[in-house]
Structure 1
Amino acid sequence: MAPTRRPSDGLLARVNFPLYAVDMLTSRHILVAGGGGSSKTGVANGFEIYELYHNGSHFCAEEVLRHETGANVVMNFAVRNNGRRSYLCAGQEAHCQMYHVQPRIECEDEAGDKEGKKPAVERPHENGVRQRGQHSGVENLSNGHTPAESSAATAADILKQFRRLRFDIQAADVVQTDFLSSAEPLQRVVRISGNGRLMATGGTDGRLRIWSFPQMALAAELTAHSKEIDDLDFSPDGNYIVSISKDAQGLVWDLGTGKVRHKLNWQTPEGVKYLYKRCRYGTVEAQKDNYRLYTIANPLGKVGRQRGYLQQWNSATGALNVAVGIDESLASLAVRDDGRFVAVGTMFSGSVSMYIAFNLQRVLHIPHAHSMFVTGLQFLPITNEEGPPISSDTEAAVLSISVDNKVCIHSLQQRRTVPAWMAIVFMIIMIFAVFVFCSYLGI
């Protein structure tokens, strides 16, 4: 059964399998993955790629590729784009499977002639990239609203409308990344460093493994945790990596020495034990060489809607800068590539919230964005080197996925601010008014 699209605000696509991982393949292509596992339930396993665009009023998505992975559910993945092609490293049971994702330009009229079919009816949209009228994935609806009529196109624009970016996925190397002996081994997380030279994996055996990339040769193995590793992230400069685990430890590792640089410690409320759930580094806005660490934490052994925390840490000292309580356990975390915004997804209500990164002030809240817990979040990039970002009228936008099979997007509208020149003029006028008033009173 092909994915479908419903006219509902925030909903981009609905897939016919549970979703566990999301990332941007390019500056305008979404990659999601998941599946139903190896049991014979009829639920597929694999990837979906969608092209994202903005029609002037709403974000819209069109299915580009569906790739099924047989009996192997994809619980986690990492993407590295080197310009000519992308590397996709996917966690499948105890192994990490690398895929080569090769982009290619396809002309619709040529494709139609080869198949003996007429070319699909074309419709221009944002940035000259065309939207097909026929496809097997998402309906041509913009969140339930009819797209605005496009203006007259030039000859060059018309030619562009018949060119489409396609992707070919080919399986490459595979390595075993988890070796738990007492139960079934499982890779829980995989990350690729910002410079593309290292890959890190963690899983149920608690070992942090560092691999050279893209060779996928084991470079270091650290006995990091006594229980399974839940999340990892490389620092933006590539010198450190943070690991969190079900043993309640949050550790920052120096990749140069292989030793712990910091332990993440904080005074928990009422002495309740908390477990870190997710971790992400984020740059400090306009300061590429400076960055912060963000985590989410939930109380251990509590049932129901317990209070989770979003935390910001000083990356140099490992001290907790600020934390905000959220009246629910948290499931997912994302930081925008410029370090300006942070987003969290909840465990029980399926809600999504967005925060200003430097002070953790909430600026957007979408209650019940999903019917079940939010398994993944990803901001639309604004500093992507592989292509221009999507033009829109929003200040920030974050994608969310869930085991409810939905891919959604949540936008923060541009907040109105007073220009600096207007504030200066207002201050001058106020000073002049006070001076006139004082003169009138003879003061």
Structure 2
Amino acid sequence: MSKTQDGKVFAKVEFPLYSVEVLDSRHVLVAGGGGAAKTGVDNGFEIFEVSHDGENFVGEAALTHDTGSNAVMNCACHTDGRKYFLVCGQESHCQLYNANISVTKESDVIHNKDDKKDEKSGIRQRKSVSNGSNPNQRTDSNSNAFKKLQFKINLGDSIQTDFSEGEPPLQRVVRISRSGQLMATGGLDGHLRVWQFPSMELIHDISAHTNELDDIDFSPDEKWVVSVGKDAGGHIWDCAKAARVKTLTWETPEKAKFLFKRCRFGIVEGNKSRSRLFVLANPVSGRSKKNSYLQFWNPQEGSIVNVWPSSESLSALAVSDCGRFVAAGTMFTGSVHVLIAFSLQQVLHVPKAHNMFVTGLAFLPSATASADCVEAAVLSISVDKKVCVHTVHERRTMPSWVAIVLIILILFLTFVLCSVLGL
């Protein structure tokens, strides 16, 4: 049964948001900007530490990094447990950043009324919070000073990933595989490029689409990478051979033209060797009266298993790390929908979570979201500069032993009633 909920504001930033990524179980990253125009709007990314205040998930700014005149329109991240790697699409190039974490005392953090910015690192150091009840702060056993996690950003390599000739080249999407060994990029030139990561060495250059790419994703086992583009095509590729494995073809309603917008693989619960594929498909006319669809595909067969219709265009897609839930964001009303992955049954609807279209979605890790009877928590972002969090609470079910006791009790009472009535 679907539940309607208001979106809770997780955090606010100073620039329009286009990408959201989970760094680890306690940190998330959002990115965006106002572009090269001198509008006074910053460009960059911000890292938030995730905590729970007993009622809601909340984010505390851990770092803000300014990327100069380049807005971050897409990004991806990976950690090996010690180092954090971040890649950002900045016009035609993909910029690599390395991040290290250190633990600092409260007294070591700069205290200013306004944020101060390190001109060399581009890091704004936030005014510290002195509230001892803040769950993001840690008390040193040898002193009364609080400890905080601090990120240090180091600039890495920058590589050109798009070579469009008809218009200024632009990287549209970047993804990193689960193991962190592969990276895939796509842009206006329609090429899908697979890179060794983090060395950023080109492995495959695939002429995947005749028009720009909209989205790509790696399968959980990293054997495949899926791509969708504005040529209405959707294809699954073999990562090792750079060969096309499947083409996503379906019978569209009334033979209308649809474009695939987003694509995400998800694991099958209890079997990480198998995967599901979820795709958003919108009618070509954005204001068309035809439904848009969230589609559940069997990637091995290249066939649709199930669909969920939406009365408005869909703009964002995410799958939980456990593979149990899938979320979709809408274009015109800024709404968020959360569904059960295998059945596409809607369990949560958040109407008008944002003032404008949803630009990105990301589920918090299952271990993080499992607090306080929460089955899943998904973050949504938009150009309205807000990060919102939406939670799916545990659906109460009756234990099997209670059901058995009730059945026995009902049978007993029925027998007694029949005896009294002489039946």
- Above 0.5 in TM-score? yes
Q: Which residue of 2 aligns with 1:429?
A: 409
| Amino acid corresponding to residue 11 of structure 1 in structure 2 | V
Q: Which residue of 2 aligns with 1:82?
A: 80
Q: Which residue of 2 aligns with 1:402?
A: 382
Task: Decide which moves more: 204-213 or 294-303.
Answer: 294-303
Taking a change above 3 Å as real, the CA distance of residues 96 and 418 of structure 1, as seen in their structure-2 partners, is: same
Q: Which residue of the other structure, out of 120, 124, 136, is the alignment partner of 2:133?
A: 124
Write out aligned runs for 1:165-176 (5 A).
165-176=149-160
For 2:31 and 2:206, locate their aligned partners in 1 and report how far apart those are by CA, in whole Å: 28
Q: Quote how far apart the aligned CAs of 1:393 are.
A: 3.6
| Amino acid corresponding to residue 174 of structure 1 in structure 2 | S
SS in 1 for 2:227: strand
For 1:99 and 1:57, locate their aligned partners in 2 and report how far apart those are by CA, in whole Å: 34
Q: Residues 104 and 167 of structure 1 are in contact (CA less than 8 Å); yes or no, is this contact kept in structure 2?
A: yes
| Amino acid corresponding to residue 124 of structure 1 in structure 2 | S
Q: Quote how far apart the aligned CAs of 1:257 are.
A: 2.2
Q: Quote how far apart the aligned CAs of 1:434 are.
A: 5.5
Q: Quote how far apart the aligned CAs of 1:263 are.
A: 1.1
Taking a change above 3 Å as real, the CA distance of residues 205 and 418 of structure 1, as seen in their structure-2 partners, is: same
For 2:226 and 2:100, locate their aligned partners in 1 and report how far apart those are by CA, in whole Å: 31
Q: Quote how far apart the aligned CAs of 1:125 are.
A: 4.3
Q: Which residue of 1 aligns with 2:372?
A: 392
Q: Quote how far apart the aligned CAs of 1:16 are.
A: 1.8
For 2:143 and 2:318, locate their aligned partners in 1 and report how far apart those are by CA, in whole Å: 38
Counterpart check, 1:373 vs 2:367: no
Q: Residues 27 and 390 of structure 1 are in contact (CA less than 8 Å); yes or no, is this contact kept in structure 2?
A: no
For 2:177 and 2:18, locate their aligned partners in 1 and report how far apart those are by CA, in whole Å: 21
SS in 2 for 1:243: strand
Q: Quote how far apart the aligned CAs of 1:269 are.
A: 1.3
Taking a change above 3 Å as real, the CA distance of residues 120 and 255 of structure 1, as seen in their structure-2 partners, is: closer
Q: Which residue of 2 aligns with 1:249?
A: 233
Q: Residues 7 and 353 of structure 2 are in contact (CA less than 8 Å); yes or no, is this contact kept in structure 1?
A: no
Counterpart check, 1:194 vs 2:203: no
| Amino acid corresponding to residue 61 of structure 1 in structure 2 | G
| Amino acid corresponding to residue 80 of structure 1 in structure 2 | H
Q: Quote how far apart the aligned CAs of 1:424 are.
A: 2.6
Q: Quote how far apart the aligned CAs of 1:389 are.
A: 5.9
For 1:9 and 1:186, locate their aligned partners in 2 and report how far apart those are by CA, in whole Å: 32
Q: Which residue of 2 aligns with 1:290?
A: 274
Q: Quote how far apart the aligned CAs of 1:44 are.
A: 0.8
Write out aligned runs for 1:10-409 (5 A).
10-111=8-109, 121-126=130-135, 129-130=136-137, 156=141, 162-303=146-287, 306-383=290-367, 391-409=371-389
Taking a change above 3 Å as real, the CA distance of residues 169 and 323 of structure 1, as seen in their structure-2 partners, is: same
Q: Which residue of 2 aligns with 1:136?
A: none
| Amino acid corresponding to residue 122 of structure 1 in structure 2 | N
Q: Quote how far apart the aligned CAs of 1:417 are.
A: 1.2
For 1:194 and 1:226, locate their aligned partners in 2 and report how far apart those are by CA, in whole Å: 28
For 1:160 and 1:29, locate their aligned partners in 2 and report how far apart those are by CA, in whole Å: 25
Task: Decide which moves more: 426-435 or 173-182.
Answer: 426-435
For 2:51 and 2:145, locate their aligned partners in 1 and report how far apart those are by CA, in whole Å: 14
Q: Residues 210 and 219 of structure 1 are in contact (CA less than 8 Å); yes or no, is this contact kept in structure 2?
A: yes
| Amino acid corresponding to residue 245 of structure 2 in structure 1 | R
Encode CA deviations 1:89-124: one digit per residue, 9 max, x unaligned. Answer: 0000010000001111111134469x9xx9852323
Q: Residues 191 and 233 of structure 1 are in contact (CA less than 8 Å); yes or no, is this contact kept in structure 2?
A: yes
Q: Quote how far apart the aligned CAs of 1:315 are.
A: 2.2
Q: Residues 336 and 353 of structure 2 are in contact (CA less than 8 Å); yes or no, is this contact kept in structure 1?
A: yes
SS in 1 for 2:404: helix
Taking a change above 3 Å as real, the CA distance of residues 303 and 173 of structure 1, as seen in their structure-2 partners, is: same
SS in 1 for 2:202: strand
Q: Quote how far apart the aligned CAs of 1:405 are.
A: 1.0
Q: Which residue of 1 aligns with 2:121?
A: none
Gap regions ≥5 residues in structure 1: 1-7, 132-153
Q: Which residue of 1 aligns with 2:119?
A: none
Q: Quote how far apart the aligned CAs of 1:438 are.
A: 7.0
Gap regions ≥5 residues in structure 2: 1-5, 117-126
For 1:193 and 1:44, locate their aligned partners in 2 and report how far apart those are by CA, in whole Å: 29
For 2:92 and 2:186, locate their aligned partners in 1 and report how far apart those are by CA, in whole Å: 10
Encode CA deviations 1:65-92: one digit per residue, 9 max, x unaligned. Answer: 1100001110000101111110000000
For 1:9 and 1:264, locate their aligned partners in 2 and report how far apart those are by CA, in whole Å: 34
For 2:176 and 2:17, locate their aligned partners in 1 and report how far apart those are by CA, in whole Å: 21
Q: Residues 369 and 375 of structure 2 are in contact (CA less than 8 Å); yes or no, is this contact kept in structure 1?
A: no
SS in 2 for 1:428: helix
Q: Residues 338 and 346 of structure 2 are in contact (CA less than 8 Å); yes or no, is this contact kept in structure 1?
A: yes
SS in 1 for 2:315: strand
Q: Which residue of 2 aligns with 1:3?
A: none
TM-score by length of 2: 0.89
Encode CA deviations 1:136-170: one digit per residue, 9 max, x unaligned. Answer: xxxxxxxxxxxxxxxxxx985x9697111110111
For 2:197 and 2:266, locate their aligned partners in 1 and report how far apart those are by CA, in whole Å: 22
For 2:263 and 2:316, locate their aligned partners in 1 and report how far apart those are by CA, in whole Å: 9
Encode CA deviations 1:34-54: one digit per residue, 9 max, x unaligned. Answer: 001111111110011111211
